[in-house]
Amino acid sequence: MKFIKTPVKGMCDMLPADMRMREHVLGMIKESYAKYGFMQIETPVMEHIENLTSKQGGDNEKLIFKVMKRGADLQRAIDSGNQEFADNGLRYDLTVPLARYYANNKENLPTPFKALQIGNVWRADKPQKGRFRQFTQCDIDILGDDTNLAEIELIAATSDMLSQIFAEVGISEFTIHINDRRILSAIALQAGFKEEEIPSVLISLDKFDKIGLDGIHAELVENGYGEDIVECYLSVYKATESVDCAAFCSNISEKFLERSVIQNVEEIISCAKAMISDQVTISFDPTLVRGMGYYTGPIFEVSINGYNFSIAGGGRYDKMIGKFSGQDVHATGFSIGFERIITILKDKMDNGAKLGTDNLAILIAKDVPLDKKIALFKEAKTLREDGTVVTIQPMRKNVKQQITKLENEGFNNFRKIYKD
């Protein structure tokens, strides 16, 4: 059988330099979020297929890596003519597992519960640049808090974390966009769309940055919506730059939108501003949609100049956990685009994350006597106890090339040991 040395399509090998950077960033994320009281948890990489196909994951449910039933269970499914041969699947995000986790463990958890979850997820997506089938997600969530303190804490904590990470590559400015799904729904209802049509309308609005109002107009009409309704709907979005929430929503009837929703968004923005760096912009963005259908209130996203993707996003999803436990739980979350952050850092760093200045490579020639080796091993033990990174290697014939490779791995101190 042929041995294939390349990874499975859509998955990547991680070289030492890659892992050094990833572990460095993960360490900063954990340390930063711990200061805000978030507690790290872990859920299994495999979930019940019923949970993964609960219609809470949007298009991600089409991308599940399913795990077949085994043994007698599989045979029974085949014999019965059952077309579902899977009983489990690899998780496609961390939110669905969190919902199950909380429903199962809530009696042993504090209220509100501030969770930090980091782990790999899998999606049977079409691989392309920056899009993989296995990748790391990093989520923070606050469960059991029905106030906007949850949104404020999530935004402040994430802004603080991103500011620390990007400071290492000279980036201090990024933008936090905020909107509310209830505002999006109110605009559509007032224009004349039916409740059940709103998800389809928002899918088109979500393309605002890519196709603009003209493109959205054409798409909605093509989808069968009346010209008058589409014109009325999009007229609200003709002036969206530098507009505050109250001004934007001033023409939305209270029949469709409670004034408390507007006040809530403005409170989140003003309170978060008091906690984040002055160089970070936080503003109301009426065209922000967020693709997941489970959001029920405020939504937010983070973008950075020069990149056409968001680096973090989330919102309130008060109805999702109840789908599993039978009892609704107030919930708000922020998902950090870990892989995208790594992409930006790689763009800005010349040689990736370094080991630090306290490191030493000891290269030992082939004929060095045993007593001298033992002395070196004892010295290395003492140096490691004092915090120095020490690697001991046999000296190669081409020692210059050996040193160059070690330098590329972050070593900058060397000792070459010969017989005499």
Is 93 annotated as ligand-binding?
yes
Q: Which of 142-146, 160-164, 292-296 has the lowest mean pLDDT?
A: 292-296
294 annotated as belonging to a binding site for a ligand:
yes
Which among 160, 194, 147, 170 is positioned nearest to 298, based on CA atoms? 147
Whether the CB-CB separation of 296 and 319 falls below 8 Å is answered with yes
3 state DSSP class of 327? coil
What's the average model confidence in pLDDT over 18-37? 94
Q: Is 136 annotated as a binding residue?
A: no
What is the per-residue pLDDT for 130? 66
- Say if CB 223 and CB 204 are below 8 A apart: yes
Please check if 396 is assigned to a binding site.
Answer: no
Interatomic CA distance for residues 7 and 18, integer angstroms: 16
What pLDDT is stored for residue 321 in this prediction?
Answer: 82
Annotation-wise, does 123 bind a ligand? yes
Dump pLDDT digits (tens) for 173-227: 999 999 999 999 999 999 999 999 998 899 899 888 889 999 999 999 999 999 9
User: What average pLDDT score do residues 339-350 get?
Assistant: 86
Is residue 55's pLDDT more than 90?
A: no
Structural domains of the chain, ranges and CATH numbers in brackets: 16-181+260-348 (3.30.930.10), 359-417 (no CATH)
User: pLDDT band for position 132 (50/70/90)?
Assistant: confident
131 is in an annotated binding site: no
Helices 227-235 and 181-191: crossing angle in degrees, nearest 10, is 140
What pLDDT band is residue 249 in, cutting at 50, 70 and 90?
very high
The count of residues in the chain is 420
The reply, when asked if residue 206 is annotated as ligand binding, is no
Cβ-based neighbours of 124, under 8 Å, separated by 6 or more: 63, 64, 65, 133
Q: What is the pLDDT of residues 298-332, one digit of tens each?
A: 999 999 988 888 899 999 999 888 877 778 899 99
- Mean of the per-residue pLDDT values for the chain? 90
Any known ligand binding at 393? no
Give the chain's radius of gyration (CA, Å).
26
pLDDT tens column, 391-417: 999 999 999 999 999 988 888 899 999
pLDDT of residue 57: 64
Prediction pTM value: 0.86
E strand segments, 9-149? 39-41, 46-48, 66-68, 86-90, 113-122, 134-143
Residue 389 scores a pLDDT above 60: yes
Tokens of 198: 């709103």
Answer for the pair 54, 294: CB distance below 8 angstroms, yes or no.
no
The sign of the dihedral angle between the CA atoms of 158, 160, 165, 166 is: positive
Per mean pLDDT, which range of 100-109, 245-254, 315-324, 374-383 is the poorest?
315-324
pLDDT value for 121: 95
Q: Helix, strand or coil for residue 99?
A: helix
Quote the longest CA-to-CA distance of the chain: 91
Residue 350 in this model has a pLDDT that exceeds 90: no
Q: Which two tokens stand for residue 224?
A: 């069968």
Please write the tens of the pLDDT for every residue from 63-108.
899 998 888 888 887 778 777 788 899 999 998 899 899 989 999 9
141 labeled part of a ligand binding site: yes
